[in-house]
Amino acid sequence: MEVYLRKNVAKIGFAGEVIKVGDGFARNFLIPQGLAIEVTEHNKSQIQDKIRKVENRKDSIATEIVMLADKINQITLTIPRKMHDNGQLYGAINASEIVDALALSGISIPKNQIVFDKTIKSKGSFKVTIALTQQVKAIITVIVVSE
């Protein structure tokens, strides 16, 4: 059965796609949950219009995300922290601190998009990845200094 996905479904597809799934899966799960609509001859033209609108919106959003990534790549964050005499921090830098520091720069992102290569537990300069989408990633430089 062909269905039009209204929402993203993990391991199945993304919102706005027309996919083929088993009849039982569509009738018993996707359609009752409001995740999909069955594609019939009756509603095929309406679904094609929705697909075109989604594609246009995806293009404009992708452009905005690339521009945001360029802006984030130019940012260097300086975070003052209390530390031991040997340069080790009392606690590691976490995603919330990065998000708060970015907010001061005028950029608002959720903390689940922050990806640490390794934990930041000492003074120095570190690269932190921000996964804006699966394809677009930005890298910021975080400098940890003593208070």
For residue 39, give every residue at least 6 positions away whose Cβ sits within 8 Å of its Cβ, in sequence order, or none.
2, 3, 4, 18, 47
- Looking at residue 24, its pLDDT comes to 96
Cβ proximity of 81 and 147 under 8 Å: yes
- Looking at residue 95, its pLDDT comes to 92
Element (H, E) at 127: strand 124-131
For residue 6, give every residue at least 6 positions away whose Cβ sits within 8 Å of its Cβ, in sequence order, or none.
15, 34, 35, 36, 37
**What does the alpha-carbon distance between residue 136 and residue 122 come to, in Å, rounded to a whole number?**
28
How would residue 33 be classed by pLDDT, with cut points 50, 70 and 90? very high
**What does the alpha-carbon distance between residue 129 and residue 58 come to, in Å, rounded to a whole number?**
23
CA proximity to 134, closest of 115, 108, 117: 115
DSSP state of 147: -
CA distances from 19 to 3, 14, 27, 36 (A): 6, 10, 14, 10
Percent of the residues in the chain that have a pLDDT greater than 90, as a whole number = 55
How would residue 142 be classed by pLDDT, with cut points 50, 70 and 90? very high
pTM for this entry: 0.63
Using the predicted structure, report yes or no on whether residue 98 has a pLDDT greater than 90: yes
Domains of the chain as residue ranges with CATH: 2-62 (3.40.5.10), 69-146 (3.10.430.100)
**pLDDT, mean of residues 42-63:** 84
